[in-house]
Amino acid sequence: VPNLQGPCYVSPAPHGGFVVSEECGDVKVFTSSHKLLCSLSSKYRHQFGNPAGVCVDMDGSILVADEQRRTVHLFPEHGAPVCLVSTGLRRPKSVACSSFGHLFVADAGENCVKVFKYRVRPP
């Protein structure tokens, strides 16, 4: 996939596609045929500082760690973005989520992995 602006992190997405964070401050979603589906900053009118880690949960929502803003946002397929973590992070670098509703955030500023529960309903 050419023409990315400083690709950083990549994650598989539903239906064989994938998600890529870019140093320039955007996150792009591609189809299984490697065609650009959307830019999260355009689709959601969201301004990233420095998007880092990305992952996709069981519902198909995209989670993004923003290193500069020290946040983690969830971007649902439909609806507005939700800030899942807005305090307590110094330098979130990567994210992963489990099928049990746990969010794992690698915080390079504190040399640890922080675990959050973000899903109330059972899988």
Are the C-beta atoms of 27 and 20 separated by less than 8 Å? yes
To the question of domain 7-117 being in CATH 3.40.718.10, the answer is no
Contacts of residue 6, defined as CB under 8 A and 6 or more positions apart, other chains included, come to 22, 23, 24
Q: Tens-digit pLDDT profile for the chain (123 aa)?
A: 888 999 999 999 988 999 999 987 899 999 999 999 999 999 999 999 999 999 999 889 999 999 999 999 999 988 999 999 999 999 999 999 998 889 999 999 999 999 999 875 554
- pTM recorded for the entire structure: 0.93
DSSP string, 54-114: EEE-TTS-EEEEETTTTEEEEE-SSS--EEEE-SS-S-EEEEEE-TTSEEEEEETTTTEEE
What residues contact residue 107 under an 8 Å CB cut-off, 6+ apart?
Answer: 89, 90, 91, 92, 93, 113, 114
Per-residue pLDDT, 99? 86
> Taking the domains of the chain in order of start, what are their residue ranges?
7-117
